[in-house]
Amino acid sequence: MGSVVSYFDQLCGQQQKKEEERCLRANDRPFNLSYHYANNAIKTSKYNIFTFLPLNLFEQFRRLANSYFLFLFILQVKLQPSLRFWALWRRFSSRISLYLAAFIFPSTGTSRPVPAAEKHPHSMMLPPPCFTVGTVGQLIPQIASLSWFTTAVPLVLVLSITAVKDATDDINRHKSDKQVNNRKVSVLIDGELQNEKWMNVQVGDVIKLENNQFVTADLLLLSSSEPLNLVYVETAELDGETNLKVKQALTVTGEMGDSIEALASFNGKVRCEPPNNRLDKFNGTLTVDGHTYSLDNDKVLLRGCTLRNTEWCFGLVIFGGPDTKLMQNSGKTTFKRTSVDHLMNVLVLCIFGFLASMCAVLTIGNAVWEMKEGSGFTVFLPREPGVDAPLSSFLAFWSYVIVLNTVVPISLYVSVEIIRLGNSFYIDWDRKMYYPKKDTPAQARTTTLNEELGQIKYIFSDKTGTLTQNIMAFNKCSINGKNYGELLDYSGQRMEITEKTPRVDFSWNQLADPKFIFHDHSLAETVREGNLEAQAFFRLLALCHTVMPEEKKEGELYYQAQSPDEGALVTAARNFGFVFRSRTPETITVVEMGEQVIYELLAVLDFNNVRKRMSVIVRNPEGKLTLYCKGADTIIYERLHSSCNKLMGVTTGHLNEYAGEGLRTLVLANRHLDEHYIKEWMQRHHEASTAIDGREEKLDGLYEEIEKDLLLLGATAVEDKLQDGVPQTIEQLVRAGINIWVLTGDKQETAENIGYSCNMLREEMKDVFIVSANSEEGVKEELVGARRKMCPTAAEAPTVFKARAGFFWLQKTETVHDDKVNGEYALVINGHSLAFALEKDLELELLRTACMCQTVICCRVTPLQKAQVVELIKKYKQAVTLAIGDGANDVSMIKAAHIGVGISGQEGMQAVLSSDFSFAQFRYLQRLLLVHGRWSYLRMCKFLQYFFYKNFTFTFVHFWYAFFCGFSAQTVYDEWFITMYNLVYTALPVLGMSLFDQDVNDRWSFQYPKLYSPGPLNVYFNKKLFVRCMIHSCYSSLILFFIPWAAMHDTVRDDGKDIADYQSFALLAQTCLLIVVNIQLCLDTHYWTAVNQFFVWGSLAVYFATTFTMYSNGMFLIFTSTFPFIGTARNSLNQPNVWLIILLTTLLCSLPVVAFRFIVIQLHPTVNDKVRQKVRKEALPAPAPRRPPVRRISTRRSGYAFSHAQGYGDLVTSRRFLLKRPLKSRPTLFQQTDSPLAQDQPQHYRNITEEPEQPVHY
């Protein structure tokens, strides 16, 4: 649809030139409006009241089947100017049908009443008026062999159901858009603040935000109520993280404060990048009074954020509405189709070809018959001028197109939509996927992709907020060679920690955090007993950090931590008696075991990704100088004093245990310093920090000099808390044959730790390859080296298999098959390396290497790279993909995948709004796939096989009958039976099977995840099975036509009267057909319910009741031309031989199927067959018990992971940090009690420096 709209825009001259640079001026609407920038209104709906009908019908008729049935409908109802010729043709063809019917059934004689109009001795062999070729009542009588309503009613029903569903969805989108667009915000207009709707905000407006308000648009931060012009924002809508981020305004704009006069007179000019979807980058300049200042991402507030812990701030609108980065990341909503849909489209094309072939054969038969036999009728029925055999054959072709159109019944698509809708309700109603803590049920947001859930081969998952809770917990520690945090029973065995395990009582500490949980009582006792090593350990944690404290009331401490790791460590020190209370640029105040101690802060040796450590130098009240250092074990060990070798060996053992459990570790050490040395070092440090050239290198050299001969104190182990059941879920999905890739923006160390925690990375793996090169050649070398190590015999060049698919096989596909690998491997690749690997020259090498590995983790990736990885798999693997995430940075990945799943609840809703399915916890994914997905796929495949079987069988009987009616397009069944066959008689039984059938229940599905494996391989429905279904239908149709025909050819009633007429044969054939297809459905059903029984037997009862009613005297007398089969039912179905024929036909159709299936199960049983056999013999498996985590010991890797950023040493030592702007009356910062900060969860900072901005002149 988008392409069509774009085309019309071009025609109308509305195609806008692509924006290359944005230029705007503050408080100058006329200037900004001249650029025609988008306003702040958003529009996610697709239609309006005028465009709905044409656009929706256009979309629906893009489906080939709908267009096909529209074509048939036109054939049946289009008015022709001349009816005289076609009336003559009707009379001619009617006589032919009369003769042929008499030829097939040479004698007549029934006990039913004969209408006065039927005077011909063979009148009962005449087809009903509406079935003869050329009925006067039809508007194209020359080809309309069926009534128009047999096509119109189903077509209108399908279009109406789909239109109502689309309209409902779009109405909900309109409501959502209206709610967002009508939010209010304070806008500075004409020198005063006015309340305006979001939709009326324009680019260049200055707006005011207050605490807990949503950010209206993408803003340049001008000023705030906080010191240093800082603001705190929550970015859950963007990246799914609940940690607070810090943004900082320029000093030149921050000086305006909240002065309305200064802000109203502000006329700064901004030049920046055009709208784009890069959430982590922004480039631009601000020109004020002739001076130009650079702008970056730290000075911009993005739409989707929420202002926290900041009384007010002012911002300048840069991007509005659809131009905001949030909406740019939403991307275009593409219409997703399942692989079953694509296969059905191909099969429908094949069926059209097959239909044309059948019609061509019958047309040739008609021509031959007209040439050889038709001339015999000219004696008593002379032809009109112009009517000859070629014309007769041409008309017969189109007549058979209408008669045989049931090979592609439109009711198929109605039924498919109903089945998908029903299976979607099962997901919505599933209590086992309901998360009570957040009152969040699972939701099928798209109702057309259910069976695709049963065919997933690749899962792409975000980490933060998806696999993890984004909460850090101080779990264990090693102090002076002793391990704390584990609980042992009396026999020395490790005990599992549960919610019922007694917790350490911290009531002795008045400043303890009540939410902190620890279970090892021995650690608290050690600290309280005065153990010097333990106290030094926690003293380091209380001093060596960049956390900002906030104490609103006496004793109520809240920590704002740049990284959740630091928040967890400082909170642990707080509870064990070393409470970080406050800080100034020169001091740190700590309450140690109830006594307040003020340390002088001399220097902060800041963290960065190369140093992998952080240190502080402090002087205690006694004047003792100490350096406290924490960092990665591999880095700290190199700087330890030789006297620590023995302790280092013991601590290494503990670190290996922690790393094996997936915990994030840091090593702690200290060093006592000499007063004279520190004075000299501080002088050199000052000179290095103020140097113009080589500043970083000089500082690094000084840091290396002082951070040596350290004394080891111990190690910490922090748990990045996984969501409940994540390792078990991943294990189940891997056992089901699904590949799981993690795509995260986190650092490599963090991603690796989560990989081990989730059991995706394991110590027993042969190797874990790290790809982190910074050049294309380096990335290629690392990828090729990994591939050669995994499979030395593999060819150097990948083998790409090319094929064609899609409509008319116009779509070209390329497939790269996996190389066989012995052993398990994993691949971890960084974002900068991935950028090179995704280039066209290296993408196949990346694909081959990654697909050889059991686990793939991509870290430091951008949203665009996430989508590119998904597209790579889709392009070369032809496999069904699923992407799961929780933030706006996952939206592109979610939309690129075949199935998008959003995690709802604690995090933002942007991913949910773009997803096809949503729930609150990652663990529900296994139920979505292994239960709902597998059942939906199995039901859909069984439905399609059965549906094609019953309709091909129905149609093939027409085909065989054509050879006995002179190829005159006469139908073998009653017209009402044809109309009601798919809509009434066989609709509910197949729907019952497709909605309620299950091979095994949900517990067995979890017990044997291998049951899922046939889905990705398309085992249950494919082209081979479709051909087998056609052969089965052909066999059944031969039985259903020739057995009744042969049995009734010379049959008489009990009273000696003849019953071998057309109407009796039609009744017998359609009765046999209906019973046989119902028996076949019973053979296909595995799980019987009362509903299934009711539908099957009820449908048969409805058939017989309807038949006796329509064939009654009363209906004939009231509607003579509509119900011509008067008395046929009561005169045929009261004969024993008729029922014997029905029984014989049923047995001949069903017994071979039963025998064939029995032999196949005995010789080649599938996984499904084996499990079902176990189900019959074994009891129902109990729910899987909660397994304690397996204890592993790492011997090859470090458990280090620390999500800290460089630059916070400058912030905490800034002399302006504590300078407060005078406040009138500051409200409580924690009005939202469920916010992460109010719950004392770790907060997050951005990189901020306090150096004044230098104007840049261009």
CA distance to 320, 522, 825, per residue, from 796 (Å): 50, 59, 19
- Torsion angles phi and psi, residue 1218, rounded to 5: -95, 5
Distance CA 969, CA 131 (A): 9
d(CA 419, CA 411): 12
What residue type is 349 in one-letter code? L
Measured between alpha carbons, how far is 812 from 794 in angstroms, rounded to an integer? Answer: 26
Sign (positive or negative) of CA dihedral 1188, 1192, 1197, 1200: positive
The pairing of strands 739-743 and 711-722 is unpaired
Work out the burial of residue 774: count CB atoms within 10 Å of its CB; fewer than 13 is exposed, 13-18 middle, 19 or more buried.
Answer: exposed
3 state SS of 1001? coil
Strand order in the sheet with 625-631: 482-484, 468-479, 711-722, 664-673, 625-631, 613-619, 595-605, 587-592, 578-583
One-character DSSP codes across 513-534: -TT-----HHHHHHHHTT-HHH
Check if the beta carbon of residue 848 is closer than 8 Å to that of residue 427. Answer: no
**Sheet order of strands, 206-210 included:** 192-197, 184-189, 206-210, 312-319, 218-224, 300-301
What is the Cα–Cα distance from 513 to 556, expressed in whole angstroms?
9
Angle at 1087 between CA 1085 and CA 1093, to 5 degrees: 75
In this structure, what are the phi and psi dihedrals at residue 879, rounded to the nearest 5 degrees?
A: -115, 160
Distance CA 686, CA 697 (A): 14
Q: How far apart are CA 1096 and CA 1076, in angstroms?
A: 12
Cβ-contact 726, 662 below 8 angstroms = no
H or E segment and range at residue 330:
helix 325-330
Tokens describing residue 1127? 């008395």
Catalytic residue (choose from 218, 462, 633, 974): 462
* Other beta carbons within 10 Å of 556: 10
- Among 1093, 1091, 1079, 1048, smallest CA distance to 1066 is for 1048
DSSP assigned state of 1011:
G
462 is catalytic: yes
Q: For 963-1051, where are the alpha helices, taking DSSP H only?
A: 975-980, 987-996, 1002-1007, 1023-1048
Q: Which helix (H) or strand (E) holds 96?
A: helix 84-104
Give residue 236's Cα distance to chain centre.
19
The three-state secondary structure class of 1131 is helix
Residues tagged active-site:
462
